[in-house]
Structure 1
Amino acid sequence: MKVNLQSNQRLAQKEITLEEQKHLKTVNNLILKKLRSFWGYFRTIANSYSEIFFFENFWLGLLLLAATFIYPNIGLSGLLCVLAAYEFARFLGLKKIFRGSGFYTYNPLLVGLSIGYLFKLSFFSFFLIVAAGILTFIVTFGLANIFYSFFRLPVLNIPFVLISTAIYLASYKYSNLLFSEFKPWWPFLTDIADHLPIWLLGLTQSLGALLFCPHFIGGLIFLTVIFFASRILFILAVGGYFLGLLILSFLEGSIYQAASNLGAFNFSLIAMAIGGVFLIPSPRSYVLAALSVAISPFLLDAATFFWAQYGIPSFTLPFNVVVLSLLYTLGLAGFPLLASYYRGSPERTLDHYLSYLARFPGTLRTLSLPVAGEWTVWQSFDGPWTHKGIWRYAVDFVITDDQGRTYRGEGAHLDDYYCFGKPVLSPVRGRVVSLANDIEDNPPGAVNETQNWGNYVLIYDERGFYVLLAHLRKGSVKVKEGQWIEQGQIIGQCGSSGYSPQPHLHVQVQLTPELGAPTQPFSFVHYAVLKDTDLIYKANDIPEEGEQVQGLYPDKAMENMMSLVLDQEIIFEFLVNDVPQKQVNFKVQMDTDGTYYLAENHNSLYFNKFEGTFYFLRQDGNAVWFRMLFLAFPRMPLVYQKGLIWEDFLPLETFYSRLKRALYTFLASFNHRLAEIKGIYKFSAPNRIEGKIAQGGEEIKTQVILDPLKGFVQEVTLISNDKKFSLRRVL
């Protein structure tokens, strides 16, 4: 009885301990959730300051915030206005639109700074600041959506110009609130300013005036912040200012008068926006930035003269007019270097753009190979014979032997040609629009000039295009008009009908159902190129003339293995030289655009599966484990073939240290080829991928062990500079 009592007591104590542990875990989770919420809150506030200079950086944003307190009245007014806008957005339930970004709050910040420049801080001006912050957020949120929906344009500083102009006009009625004098915290700084050269004083005071701190110390702080945030933005800001200053001094006849114009910060903003933010940094974007600055001085003087009639500054009106007009024009013209996705700095945007171009050379009009087995490309895009002009986007296929010949013997008969009579497969799923099946095949060397396409099948793909397969064998077509067919279904046989001097298969994509319609770019997915003894995987590309290709078919088991489920948690152990460092917990989440990503604290690794290939798309944050995954298999074919090799081009941020990355990205803005980093990967076993990345004397070897039971990855290893980094699956 006593033994049972003691046993029950021990069980009760154990239950209490477990209950306490569970409660403690819940409390810790709540505290962690609150801390993350506060961190997101402070990130949004700090990024409101950095967004004005076109970048997002929490610590540099805090430095900009501190710099505005050179004039305490101005700094406090700006901060209060941002807080008012943010809290109003939270009240409306719009907290999720921020996600640490200051996009919707930098206009309220500018309005708050402008109020602090005009009015002394008091109970009444506090009310005005809060009201202006709320109103500016409403206008920003509304205009941002209108501008993007109808014009595909950013809202820039237009809400700030509108609201600040209204407040300055109304200020004639609020004379009891006006602030009569501004003094920085350190009066001796004014004496230093008197000894600075006019060009440096003008630059710093002008940049300082953007945040309503027209003091050289404020400008120096802003210049320093811009330099650390982005060397490209720094060069553009300084170069844009001096180019605009030079032109303005010619127009006004005095460099001193031009340098004293505090509105000259518009030159820097225009250069930064055009040269490195809304366009991909390149020699062409720099030329456009210079031209944009060159046409802006008279707009600055005109706006200053007009607004001066009412006793108010022109703010950023010239910047908004020039940038929005140019961006709209470039959009209408289809300018190829418009940045579709800005990643927080010109360097990261350029890196993402260049790696994206190299990694995804294909199109969204994707076809599978219309043949089985090994075939050779006879003509590709812009081929030497018939693929010219409006028919330039087409591919012809034949079969060749070891000597590169397309026939056996003398090739006098159609049956001598290796591809004659071979099955032709549908490269898409869709509906048969039209076909021909009764045209005679030409004897070798002869062509049918009146029925150019010969026997053909035209298929409509519901993605909005037509696929034409031509020169089929007479009587071999196995489908009917109006029939729905699936990808890979046999539709006929390769022949030599129409304008075909020898048996071959012609494939093209067009936007209308007429025969002979202009061709459009397309690409083939999930195939391999045979080169010597290697089998090289191509995810989405166009084979070149003379290449031997063969179709691949996705493995369902591998597709399932790489299917990560929303909210799935994966736990890895991170090791350095086989010594455990910490456990990291990944969670599968979905972004607003439907893209899935692995999340770990504030770090993200985006991924996708497309046409038989698994991709890592991009990395946000600096987590070493996400960098390891990206380097180890940036893409992976969802099919195993022994010795299958593929290559991929990696972003600079995944390979180089921060200092080297900054240098290479800056240089790459002048020559895009400098950003090329290639990795080569292969299947060394059904569940094992080995890779090597070499660039500029640096080399990284990688190994991935896939997990067919749990799915995804069992282990990832990187060896760099005799140092081994590993991720081992725990759960």
Structure 2
Amino acid sequence: MKRHLIAILHSYSEIFFLRSIGMGAGFIALTFLVPNMAFAGLLAILSAYLFAYFIGMKPDFLKTGFYTYNPLLVGLAIGYLFKLTPLTIFFVVFTGIFTFVVTIMLDSLFWQYLRLPILSVPFVGITSIVYLAASNYTNLFVTALYPHPVLPVVEAQLPFWVTGFLKSLGAVFFLPNVWAGLGIAVILLVASRILFMLAVVGYYSGSLLIALLVGSPAQAFADINHFNFILIAMAVGGVFLIPSLKSYVLALIAVCSATVLLDAAKTFWSDYGIPGFTLPFNVVSLSFVYVLGLIAHPLVVKYIKQTPEETLDYYLLNLRRFRGSERTLSLPFSGTWQVWQGFDGSWTHQGSWRYAYDFIIVDDKGNSYQHEGTVLTDYYCFRKPVLSPVRGRVVRVISHLPDNPIGEVDKSENWGNLIIIEDPRGFYVEISHFAHDSIRVNKGDWVERGTLLGLCGNSGYSPQPHLHVQVQATSEIGSYTLPFSFVSYTIDHQFYANDVPPEGAQIEPIYPDKHLDAVTAFMLDDRYEYRVLKNGQPVGYVRLTVRMAPDGTFYLDSGKGQLYFGKHEGTFYMYRLEGNCHYLKMIFLALPRLPLSAKVGLSWQDHIPVGVVARGITKMGIRFLSSFYHGLAHIQTTLTVTPAGIEGKIESKLLNLTQHTYLELDDYAGIKSVRIGSLELRRNEDETIRG
């Protein structure tokens, strides 16, 4: 029963792009300002749900409310026009079911062919059909013929531009009155400051432009159809694009673009006696989102969270925590080498070949050779082992070319002796300038990361021995290059999980330690019990259980929250924190990530979500303001491996925050203790229960 109630509440909150039980309850309460309409909306949702269960749809498919807010809107539209009678109820039930079917169908088509959400397209289509057909249904009674609830009139006491905004806001739920609009405004302000701001800016931008066009501000602000401006601004500015100054500008452009369409739709549909509903909102919003998605605009949202603030927080956190590319390579050598030339290098990494790396070995004086450096054997990297940076199939090998004398290059065979490997992830890796006849693999061989490929040489366009690596789109020699990054390496004892090292950096790969890999192998159904100590005195305990989400990810569950974790490319990550559990928050702060080769002296940096550190009004303010300047929400932690464990230092200039963390891993499984300030979680060896 609880699950069904949550799904219904989500249907209401989804209309304003929210996914909140509390906000959904608030919207339901407001619809009961007109009980006839409220019951029609609920009836349409229930009909859609019962039909979904009847045909065997899984409950998880419906729990977000995404597929049922269109039936809700259709039900509200019918309840707004017709009085509920047995005949009207029958009409609402089957119209709600039909809207649900159309919603599922259009959602599949929109996503498969356009990669677009359906928004309220089904509602516009079905409600237009219903209103057109209703003119022939004489047995359906128009509610205007019956008394409506009388609400206190306050319009005369408010400026017309305030009344217009509130009535337009209420009109989204077919409640074009000041009280409903005021209630919705309060709910929006509590749920999302970004959505509230966009609602205000969108409405007044569009209405002022209309006022200039028609020459009458009072006439412009009296049009409740301007709720389309509100929805467009929300969708473009904060829901389908990452909230930012640029998204806000795009939202204004979209709103202004909609003014002509809005008046055209009203004029066209007025001939048929029906309103334009949300047609302008759907056309303009979907057009902007489609074009921006088509050009792969970086602000297009990939994962829509419960509010724009949470979406922004998630985006900024992942942007900082998981730098680098999805095309990841291991370093193709062991030991310490130097980046001789990186992306957009000043010598040869230009144009179509800008994404490439050259590596050499240098001594303490920065020289890449010993003695006079006049012969190949003087160079430290000459004939050093070259390892495969990826796993894949060898598709091309050249090994017969001679090594050039120092200072000379082979202009006819630029790439020299080379290997091209096809990575199953959809790209190719070319490693060039191998020594003459040193390649150990053949075309068609399968190689794993770390497989010995050959020896570093000086063939091709190479004035001195070095190793060249690039990622490319095809298997052709010297094909145009693609961005990539390297994983699991150190620069001056600083660990980088996935990044692009700078030119001149002394870089060394690190490899996972089997013991540490086993310690962090949290198994499904494992239970860890911790005593909670404050200033060294026991004050309680907490039990954490390893569980698996439907998508296959694992998390620690305390009953009050979930901390998701996993391993990738030699690093253990705490990915995200959900719920409100202070003890899981402690673990996240103390160990947001861990290189699986954590030797004493190794350090690394990570970034902490604003929502984990800041609270209340401070958190709300930072999240809102960071939409204007993404660099504002910057909370960094530096972690270092010491003989006693892992020590961290969390810093934020904005919050005037400096916080120290301490964490000790167990010798066999999991985390032994965590301490932040006066609070500590401590586990004994006998407090671990394997699943």
Query: Above 0.5 in TM-score?
Result: yes
Q: Which residue of 2 aligns with 1:268?
A: 230
Q: Which residue, out of 69, 76, 79, partners 1:106? A: 69
- Asked if the contact 1:589–1:599 (Cα under 8 Å) also holds between the matched residues in 2, the reply is no
Q: Would the aligned equivalents of 1:647 and 1:678 in 2 still touch at CA under 8 Å?
A: yes
Which residue of 464, 468, 489 maps to 1:502? Answer: 464
Which secondary structure state, in structure 2, belongs to the residue aligned with residue 674 of structure 1? coil
Residues 157-176 of structure 1: pairs in structure 2 closer than 5 A: 157-176=120-139
Superposed, 1:323-472 pairs within 5 Å as 323-472=285-434
The one-letter code of the counterpart of 1:395 is Y
Shift of 1:240: 0.3
Shift, 1:332, TM fit: 1.4
Tell me by how many angstroms 1:215 deviates.
Answer: 0.7
Q: CA deviation at 1:123?
A: 2.2
Residue of structure 2 aligned with 1:45, choices 3, 8, 13: 8
How far apart, in 2, do the equivalents of 1:450 and 1:261 lie? 73
Please identify, of 144-153 and 265-274, the stretch whose mean Cα deviation from structure 2 is larger.
Answer: 144-153
Residue 360 of structure 1 deviates from its aligned partner by 1.2
Task: Give the Cα separation in 2 of the matches to 1:482 and 1:296.
Answer: 57
* Ranges in structure 1 where 5+ consecutive residues have no aligned partner: 1-37
Distance 1:302 1:92, change over 3 A: same
Q: Distance in 2 between matches of 1:125 and 1:438?
A: 84
SS at match of 2:143: coil
Shifted more, 412-421 versus 499-508: the winner is 412-421
Give, in whole Å, the separation in 1 of the partners of 2:72 and 2:557.
31
Conservation of the 8 A alpha-carbon contact between 2:558 and 2:584: no
Kept in 2: contact 1:56–1:101 (CA 8 A): yes
* CA drift at 1:184: 6.2
Is 2:656 the counterpart of 1:700?
A: no
1:19 is matched with none
Q: Which residue does 2:607 correspond to in 1? A: 649
Q: Aligned-residue CA RMSD in angstroms?
A: 2.0
Residues 71, 182 of structure 1: 8 Å contact kept? no
2:631 to 670, 673, 680: 673
Instruction: Supply the AA of the counterpart residue of 2:681.
Output: S
When residues 182 and 252 of structure 1 are mapped into structure 2, their CA distance, relative to the original with a 3 A threshold, is farther
1:142 aligns with 2:105: yes
Amino acid paired to 1:513 = S
* Superposed counterparts of 1:475-554, under 5 Å: 475-530=437-492, 535-554=493-512
Counterpart AA for 1:180: A
| Cα deviation, residue 386, structure 1 | 1.0
Structure 1 residue 178 and structure 2 residue 142: aligned?
yes
Counting only pairs closer than 5 Å after superposition, residues 28-177 of structure 1 correspond to structure 2 as 38-98=1-61, 100-176=63-139, 177=141
In the aligned structure 1, how far is the partner of 2:414 from the partner of 2:532?
63
SS in 1 for 2:157: coil
Alpha-carbon distance change, 605 to 39 in structure 1, aligned in 2, over 3 angstroms: farther
For the pair 1:726 / 2:684, whether they are aligned, the reply is no
Corresponding residue of 1:27? none
Q: Which residue of 1 aligns with 2:569?
A: 611
Give the direction of change, closer, same or farther, for the CA distance of 1:500–1:345 in structure 2 (3 Å limit).
same
Q: Once the 2 structures are TM-superposed, how far is the Cα of residue 728 of structure 1 from its aligned partner?
A: 4.1
Aligned-pair CA distance for 1:249? 1.6
Say which SS state the counterpart of residue 194 (structure 1) adopts.
Answer: helix
Alignment of 1:200-215 (within 5 A): 200-215=162-177
Q: CA, structure 1 residues 132+569, in 2 after alignment: closer, same or farther (shift >3 Å)?
A: farther
Cα deviation per residue 1:341-362 (whole Å; 9 max; x = unaligned)?
A: 0111111111111111111112
Structure 2 residue 558 is matched with structure 1 residue 596: no
Structure 1 residues 315 and 579, CA, compared in 2 at 3 Å: closer, same or farther?
farther
**Is the CA contact 2:546–2:554 (under 8 Å) kept in the aligned structure 1?**
no
Contact 1:378–1:398 at 8 Å: present in 2 too? yes
Q: Secondary structure at the match of 2:144?
A: coil
Q: Secondary structure at the match of 1:303?
A: helix
Residues 199 and 584 (structure 1 numbering): CA distance in 2 closer, same or farther, change over 3 Å?
A: farther
Distance 2:149 2:680 in 1: 50
Give the C-alpha shift of residue 138 in structure 1. 1.9
Deviation at 1:178, TM superposition (A): 1.7
1:319 deviation in Å? Answer: 0.3
Q: Percent identity?
A: 47
Choose which of 281, 296, 304 in structure 1 pairs with 2:266: 304
1:708 Cα offset (Å): 3.9
Name the residue aligned to 1:13. none
CA-CA distance at 1:183 after TM superposition = 6.2
Structure 2 Cα separation of the partners of residues 50 and 429 of structure 1: 46
Classify 1:579/1:107 alpha carbon distance in 2 versus 1 (closer, same or farther; 3 Å): farther
CA deviation vs aligned residue, 1:90-109 (integer Å, no higher than 9, x gap)? 33343433574221221122
Corresponding residue for residue 313 of structure 1 = 275
CA distance in 1, matches of 2:99, 2:530: 45
- Cα distance, 1:563–1:281 mapped onto 2, change above 3 Å: same
CA offset digits 1:525-554 (Å, max 9, x no partner): 111112xxxx11111112110111111111
Shift of 1:561: 2.8
TM-score of the pair, normalised by structure 2 = 0.94
User: How far off is 1:616 after superposition?
Assistant: 2.0
In 1: Cα distance, 2:85 partner to 2:303 partner: 42
Specify whether residues 585 and 133 from structure 1 end up closer, same or farther in structure 2 by C-alpha distance, changes over 3 A only: farther
User: Judging changes above 3 Å, is the alpha-carbon distance between structure 1 residues 529 and 482 closer, same or farther for their aligned structure 2 residues?
Assistant: same
Contact 1:569 1:588 in 2 (8 A): no
Q: Is the 1:574–1:728 Cα contact (8 Å) retained in structure 2? A: no
Question: Cα offset for 1:714?
Answer: 2.7
Q: CA, structure 1 residues 319+643, in 2 after alignment: closer, same or farther (shift >3 Å)? A: same
Distance in 1 between residues matched to 2:370 and 2:146, nearest whole Å? 93
Q: Which residue of 1 aligns with 2:545?
A: 586
Q: What amino acid does structure 2 have at the position aligned with 1:558? A: L
Residue 691, structure 1, aligned to residue 654, structure 2: no
Amino acid at match of 1:144: D
Quote the residue 1:235 is aligned against: 197
State how far apart, in whole Å, the 2-side matches of 1:482 and 1:571 are.
52
> In 1, distance between residues paired with 2:332 and 2:616?
46
Alpha-carbon distance, 1:602 to partner: 7.0
1:251 corresponds to which residue? 213
- Paired residue secondary structure (2:298): coil
The DSSP-based 3-state class of the residue aligned with 2:494 is: strand
* Residues 59-68 or 409-418, more deviating: 409-418
Q: Distance in 1 between matches of 2:341 and 2:375?
A: 22
Instruction: Using the TM superposition, give the Cα deviation of residue 180 of structure 1 relative to its aligned residue in structure 2, in angstroms.
Output: 2.0
Displacement of 1:207: 0.8
Say if 1:495 and 1:505, in contact at 8 Å, map to a contact too. yes
Q: Distance in 2 between matches of 1:299 and 1:289?
A: 16
Q: Quote the offset at 1:654 in angstroms.
A: 1.6
Residues 310 and 571 of structure 1, relative CA distance in 2, 3 Å threshold: farther
Which of 472-481 and 108-117 deviates more? 472-481
Conserved 8 A contact 1:564-1:588 = no
Cα distance, 1:569 vs. partner? 4.4
